Amino acid sequence: MKVLWAPWRMEYILSDQKAEECIFCPGDNRDMDRSRLILQAGDLSMVMMNRFPYINGHLLVAPVRHVRELASLSQDERADLLTMVTRSVEILKKVMNPEGFNVGMNLGKVAGAGVEAHMHFHIVPRWNGDNNYMTVLGEVRVIPEHIEETYHRLLPYFKEVNILDGGEE
């Protein structure tokens, strides 16, 4: 798949990030939330923008712990992860007005997992007609808004604690 107008991609290629590095595990870069496109990092789970999105607003939600299997998560981690998925969906609804979502996981390489060793949810907002548009263009993804712009639009909402009805404080 080709990506149209993707200046961030060049930044990524030019950065010396090693292919085997886990994108969800900070290593020494704990403070570099912005450069990693992290929208929220809790004790148990985190949300980041997908650097190679299927569509604008494509988010990734992962546990903080580097685990491959759903079964390796504790009950608390599982609950926190689902809360984070819910928050992400609600925030995307507010900010980007999508008409639907694809929310799911690719477990294992054969299922399309890019980062196989650290499980994560994909949250892909959908709009009527986005599919037709992409079909017309074949294997080309169109990202109409620069990923950093979307990041800065979403970020303030992730800082609100009570984004879900009933709050979670």
Between CA 141 and CA 78 the distance in angstroms is: 32
Q: How many CB atoms lie within 10 A of CB 91?
A: 25
| Known catalytic residue at 120 | yes
Helix 75-96 vs helix 147-159: crossing angle, to nearest 10: 120
User: Which residue, among 69, 15, 20, has the nearest Cα to 37 in the 3D structure?
Assistant: 15
User: Which residue, among 37, 50, 30, has the nearest Cα to 115 in the 3D structure?
Assistant: 50
Query: Binding residues for Zn ion, per CB under 5 A?
Result: 22, 24-25, 66, 118
**Facing residues of 121 across strands?**
61
Catalytic residue among 120, 122, 146, 152: 120
* Beta pairing class for 140-141 and 2-3: parallel
What's the token pair of residue 32?
Answer: 């570099």
User: Which residue, among 66, 47, 43, 53, has the nearest Cα to 3 in the 3D structure?
Assistant: 53
Minimum CB–partner distance for residue 65 and Zn ion (Å)? 8
**Facing residues of 102 across strands?**
124
List active site positions. Answer: 120
